[in-house]
Amino acid sequence: MCYNILNIIQAGKSMTLQQLRYIVMVAETGTITEAAGKLYISQPSLTNAIHELEKEMNITIFNRTNKGISVSKEGEDFLSYARQILEQAAILEDRYKGGNGGRKQYCVSTQHYSFAVNAFVELIQKYAGKEYDFNLRETQTYEIIEDVALMKSELGILYLDDENKNVITKALREKELVFTPLFEAKPHVFISSAHPLATKKTVDWDDLAPYPYLSFEQGEHNSFYYAEERYSRVLRKKNIRVRDRATLFNLLIGLNGYTVCSGVIDENLNGENIIAVPLKEQGLMQIGYIHHKKAVLGKLAQAYIEAIGDRYGDQISVPGGSKKGRK
């Protein structure tokens, strides 16, 4: 069954905005328990509210199994329009209730990029208001795809290149996700400013061979197709995998290690002790965002994309908006 906003409004004569907030939160958290905690209601009350909404709308929004819950196919459509209704309601309240549009919600999943964090900060500063529940998930590549597919996150930030494009694109297509390029970046390495190679204008694999290579661990999907770093197929004698940005940077400094990256760096986040040096390799990283093809991006998602474009995009296309240039 295909839904639009008018279908939902007409069918849901007693449906409330609160019920829509409930299902959006459950979709984002993936569990009734966590959603109930964030919503400050009991689990039975939340479960009953969802059952009542599903009964009224005559659909199954969530599939229930022994492993937990997941959004159903018809639930994906419903959630997309539910988010639009909540966003429009917030806009109305902003305009007619003195700027208090209620608690704003937004979630993005991303690989470990400083520009993604910067854009998130700008989004909160500009749009969050007095009440908000925002979530920035720096996580593994496979989980980014899963988060967006299950509508836990509205957007996912990752990269494609000649090595991973076929595999990642196939995974996105199977989960009905769309990749939109943001900008292209030439390969660099992050190293300590005190590293023996710090004064070189460019480096190659021979230069880097004596030093430990650091990368982000990808869990069960630890193949080079899901790697966050380019040239993951290159054989190296010294390898260290980590789960978070702070550990990686500490090891870059403490062990004179290196990691392959986009070269986009921010001193406020990465510190003055980390620098980017161009790598003597051909090829580009195409960094972009993924979203569910059934979902219409909301105002906050579009504003987040624009925030990235304002800083880093040469020619970023924003759905329903204009193109932004690099600053």
Q: Looking at the structure, tell me whether residues 263 and 196 fall in a common domain.
A: yes
Q: Looking at the structure, tell me whether residues 143 and 54 fall in a common domain.
A: no
Q: What is the pLDDT of residues 58-114, one digit of tens each?
A: 899 999 888 788 888 888 888 878 887 887 777 677 666 655 556 677 899 999 998
Q: Looking at the structure, tell me whether residues 288 and 151 fall in a common domain.
A: yes
Tell me which residue range forms the domain holding 246.
187-282
Q: What is the pLDDT of residue 222?
A: 63
Three-class DSSP category at 153: coil
3-state helix, strand, coil in the chain (%, to 5): 40, 20, 35
CA distance to 1, 116, 269, per residue, from 273 (Å) = 55, 20, 11
Q: For residue 160, which phi and psi values (nearest 5 degrees)?
A: -120, 150
Judge whether 193 and 271 are in contact, CB under 8 Å.
no
Q: What is the pLDDT of residues 23-47, one digit of tens each?
A: 999 988 888 999 999 888 999 999 9
Number of domains in the chain: 3
Q: What is the pLDDT of residue 270?
A: 63
CATH code, 25: 1.10.10.10
CATH code, 219: 3.40.190.10
Q: Looking at the structure, tell me whether residues 287 and 276 fall in a common domain.
A: no
Listed as ranges, residues in the chain with pLDDT below 50 are 1-2, 4-6, 9-12, 314-327
DSSP one-letter string for 270-314? H-TTEEEEEBS----EEEEEEEETTPPP-HHHHHHHHHHHHHH-S
Looking at residue 36, its amino acid is A
